[in-house]
Amino acid sequence: MPVIGSVLASLIQTNVDSRMSLIQGHHPLQQKNPMYFIAMCQAIGLGIATGAPVISFTTSDSGFAGIPPVPGVGSGVGIIVDPTFLIQDLYTRIRNYVIDDFGRTAHDPYPPRQGNSGQYLLALCEGINDSFKSYYPTAWILTSTNPDIYMGTATINNGDFSGLVAPAIQSLIISGAPLLIGKFWPRLAQAIAESYVALIEQHSTGTLTITGVCVPSQSQVCDIGSSTGSGTGTAA
């Protein structure tokens, strides 16, 4: 099944709250009126899930081939995201947008010093990243068509996912939280959407198992080992 927006949103809410609690015991969910924090987390999770419910990819295949080629079908579970890329990328994007829009910021460049206001921005980035790391390895079902290999492994390398559109995800994040107004919210949504697309398309991997049947005959050779090829597929 594709990523479930409500599940991702709940994880973001819990993980960001947990990360922020490490800064002087500050719990956004325990403040007098947490509805704006909740609205933000819900909009981020639902916007990402709705904006990219299917992700295309290509694969590098290895295993057994036939002559003529016998196709196989790949199946797998999970997108494995880089464990640290998003944190620095998102932090830096948000900080740069604040400077672009307001001329200055108290946030340190990444990584922020202890006691600097950037610690709260860092906690936001870490909480979002925690959610992808924990959820995505089981949330996505991978399927592929592999024309060259009928039995083996299909590998999705960094740079092999494609088709995500950051402005579309940004728009959905913004519209998901009508309570949040002001100049910063669209910029925050933009940074999150752009970093998410960069994370998936440039810093994520996956693996599928290719299965198929090759029947030997006078016109069909099977079991040619150590063969390679390529395939295409979708994560949904």
pLDDT in tens, 14-30: 999 999 999 989 899 99
Q: State the pLDDT at residue 113.
A: 97
Stretch 74-84: mean pLDDT, rounded? 98
Stretch 227-235: mean pLDDT, rounded? 98
Q: Return left, alpha or beta for 17; rule: phi > 0 is left, psi -120 to 50 is alpha, else beta.
A: alpha
* Banded pLDDT at 2 (limits 50, 70, 90): confident
- pLDDT, tens digit, 9 for 90 and up, residues 146-172: 999 999 999 999 999 999 999 999 999
Stretch 25-37: mean pLDDT, rounded? 94
Go through the chain and tell me how many residues it has.
Answer: 236
Stretch 108-132: mean pLDDT, rounded? 98
* Banded pLDDT at 182 (limits 50, 70, 90): confident
Q: State the pLDDT at residue 1.
A: 64
Return the axis-axis angle of helices 85-102 and 184-202, rounded to nearest 10°.
150
Question: 204 with 82: CB under 8 angstroms?
Answer: yes
Average pLDDT over the chain reads 97
Whole-number Å distance between alpha carbons of 105 and 117: 9
Whole-number Å distance between alpha carbons of 175 and 178: 6
pLDDT at 68 over 70: yes
Max Cα-Cα span within the chain: 77
Q: Which two tokens stand for residue 103?
A: 């001329």
Percent of the chain with pLDDT over 90: 97
Q: Given 3-state DSSP classes, what are the helix, strand and coil percentages for the chain, each rounded to the nearest 5? A: 45, 25, 30
Query: Higher-confidence residue: 64 or 183?
Result: 64
Q: State the pLDDT at residue 31.
A: 92
- What is the pTM (predicted TM-score) of this model? 0.96
DSSP 220: B
Percent of the chain with pLDDT over 70: 100
Whole-number Å distance between alpha carbons of 25 and 119: 13
Q: Omega into 109 within 30° of 0, i.e. cis?
A: no
- Using the Cα atoms of residue 171, residue 90, residue 2 and residue 8 in order, give the sign of their dihedral: negative
